[in-house]
Amino acid sequence: MTLLDSNEIESELRKVISTVSRDKNLDKAVIIDALQQAVVHAARRSLGATADLEAHYNEESDEIELYQFRTVVDDDDVANESIEISIGDATKLDAETVLGDAIGIKLDTTKFGRIAAQSAKQIIVQKVRDAERSQIFDEFKDRKGDILSGYVRRFERNDIIVDLGRTEAVIPYKEQVPTEKFRVKDRIQAYVTDIKRSSRGPQVVMSRAHPGFLVQLFSQHVTEIYDGVVSIEAAARDPGYRSKIAVYSRDSTVDPVGACVGMKGSRVQAVVSELNGEKIDIIPYDHDPARLVCNALAPAVVSKVIVDENMHGMEVIVADDQLSLAIGKRGQNVRLAAQLTGWKLDIKSESSIEEKMAGAKDLLTTIKGLDEMMAELLVQEGYTTPAEVAALSPRALNRLLNMEHDQALSLIENAQVLADMVAQGKAEIKKPTVRDDFLANSSAAPLTLDNKVEDSQISERVKIFLELSGVGEASAHALADGGYVTIGDIVADSAEEVAQKTGLSIGVARTIQMAADRYLQSE
């Protein structure tokens, strides 16, 4: 720092300004502003804090000119001499002055020399610090998303402090790779995630675990990426262990995967080396989400993908021998694939799907009025539970099963009965072995209940209730379990009471009551 004394303030300002500007890499305007502030500060110590002062650097005379502005008032009205001047004194300085004018009086700065020099030193030091911080911030503010190199300077509460030359950067503990260890003075590269202003200067925040670090490393080593021919559309990392990138080529003659791998794997190996052995899967990007998921699950081979747009998820079906490969060690492969594609993924084996489909078909065939062929058609369309069947409209059943309107209504009611019982845990579904008639020209499969009632041991009460039109074993058992002994008992109660005692829906209860009433009238 070039020192200033009172004589320099008076006579060698131009030289001082040039020297400090050159030594500290500061604009001359910053130095001049500091000197002007210093002179004003020194003058206020003598003239009072209320004094209206202005200082200007005169390049021709190479001096700081200081002016005190005072308002012209009557001779008897001067209350504060630091800001007011009598009309009599003012006219001596300027004969044309009138009341209310603000007159600027040039002051002698030599008496403020020593104080001004000390103030100038302090102000310039602060200006230098502020300017350096501003320059450093401007230098790094556009480096977000870049890779910077430096040396490990020290460790603070598990954070790594990196020497970047003109400033320091921090790699927070959470942005470090758990398998990596660094020592003081080690060379280190990292990805800039943020740049913040602080009272201690710019704070550069970096990461070695961010997916962007992987992307930028490939950009450094793959010419086609740097030139924009090949792009990395997505990246996912399990830092220190495995990564996946999806690459796309804008030139059909350029293989994006081959470009990233390089001759004999040289390019990808350079990236792996910087990441200390982290394995990298390079897959071709596809605009079709399902195809992208299939690529992302490599090396596993996908058999089928079921896309659920509403839940933004996919059920991925693979062969049994591909299941462990698709999921990966501790779920790593599917987790990275989900991160890469942005979709929720559920991996299922073909055998589990077959079992699920078979179980769903068996369950649906227990709905009275639904045979195996119908159940299989519904399962293939994605309707796998009684509740889902009950939610279908007669028109939908007509489209799916070519079913008449009345038959569809009965099927929906029976599906609702079964859905209610399954929801309440009153039914244990088993593969049906017995069939009987439900409606004319249609067959129905009975519902097998829990161990308390076997097919071969249907109670007398249940047999009575089965005589009612449209009442199957599910409803008959529900009526018997609800305490009903005769058909007359059913008619005697309200539909709400029947529903409450049996656990059936109010709609089904009304249907049963109507059937019971017709039965009694026919008798």
| Amino acid, res. 233 | E
Rounded CA gap, 326 and 301, in Å?
Answer: 8
* Same domain as 145, residue 130: no
Q: What are the residues whose beta carbons fall under 8 Å from the beta carbon of 350, sequence distance 6 or more?
A: 303, 317, 318, 319, 320
Rg (CA), the chain: 44
* Same domain as 167, residue 73: no
From the CB of residue 284, how many other CB atoms can be counted at a distance below 10 Å? 16
Tokens of 342: 């942005």
Rounded CA gap, 56 and 209, in Å?
Answer: 54
* Same domain as 95, residue 38: yes
Rounded CA gap, 79 and 72, in Å?
Answer: 11
| Amino acid, res. 274 | E
Residue 261 in domain: no
Q: Give the end of a domain, one of 346, 379, 414.
A: 346
* Same domain as 194, residue 167: yes
Q: Give the end of a domain, one of 209, 232, 248.
A: 209
Per-position DSSP letters for 458-488, written without gaps between them: --HHHHHHTTSTT--HHHHHHHHHTT--SHH
Tokens of 65: 């000119």
* Same domain as 175, residue 131: no
Residue 49 in domain: yes
Q: Give the end of a domain, one of 182, 209, 236.
A: 209
Per-residue pLDDT of the chain (523 residues; tens, 9 = 90+): 444 444 444 456 788 788 878 877 778 888 888 888 888 888 888 778 888 888 888 888 888 888 888 888 887 877 777 778 888 888 877 778 888 888 888 888 777 666 666 776 777 777 777 777 887 888 888 889 899 999 999 999 899 999 988 888 999 999 999 999 999 999 999 999 998 877 777 789 999 999 999 999 999 999 999 999 999 999 999 999 999 999 999 999 999 999 999 999 999 999 999 999 999 999 999 999 999 999 999 889 999 898 888 889 998 999 989 999 999 988 999 999 999 999 999 998 888 888 888 888 888 888 888 888 888 888 887 788 888 888 888 888 888 888 888 888 888 888 888 888 877 765 544 433 322 222 223 333 333 333 333 343 346 777 888 887 767 666 777 788 778 888 888 888 887 888 788 777 676 777 788 778 777 777 6
In contact, 477 and 449? CB cutoff 8 Å: yes
* Same domain as 191, residue 106: no
* Same domain as 147, residue 119: no
Residue 195 in domain: yes
Full domain range(s) for residue 195: 141-209
* Same domain as 512, residue 392: yes
183-186 CB contacts, 8 Å cutoff, 24+ apart: 183/152, 184/152, 184/153, 184/154, 184/155, 185/151, 185/152, 186/151, 186/152
* Same domain as 457, residue 390: yes
Question: Which CATH number belongs to the domain containing residue 172 in this structure?
Answer: 2.40.50.140
- Max intra-chain CA distance, the chain: 133
User: Does the predicted model carry a pTM greater than 0.85?
Assistant: no
Residue 201's alpha-carbon distances to 122, 151, 157, 473, 501, in angstroms, are: 18, 19, 20, 80, 76
Rama region for 265: left / alpha / beta (φ>0; ψ in -120 to 50; rest): left
Paired sense of beta strands 302-308 and 313-318, if any: antiparallel
The total domain count for the chain is 4
Burial of residue 169 (number of CB atoms within 10 Å: 0-12, 13-18, 19+): buried
Residue 288's alpha-carbon distances to 105, 205, 300, 317, in angstroms, are: 79, 36, 18, 17
* Same domain as 497, residue 393: yes
Tokens of 240: 């220190």
* Same domain as 148, residue 118: no
Rounded CA gap, 354 and 10, in Å?
Answer: 96
Question: Which CATH number belongs to the domain containing residue 306 in this structure?
Answer: 3.30.300.20
Classify the C-alpha dihedral 134-138-144-146 as positive or negative.
Answer: negative
Rounded CA gap, 42 and 94, in Å?
Answer: 27
* Same domain as 465, residue 449: yes
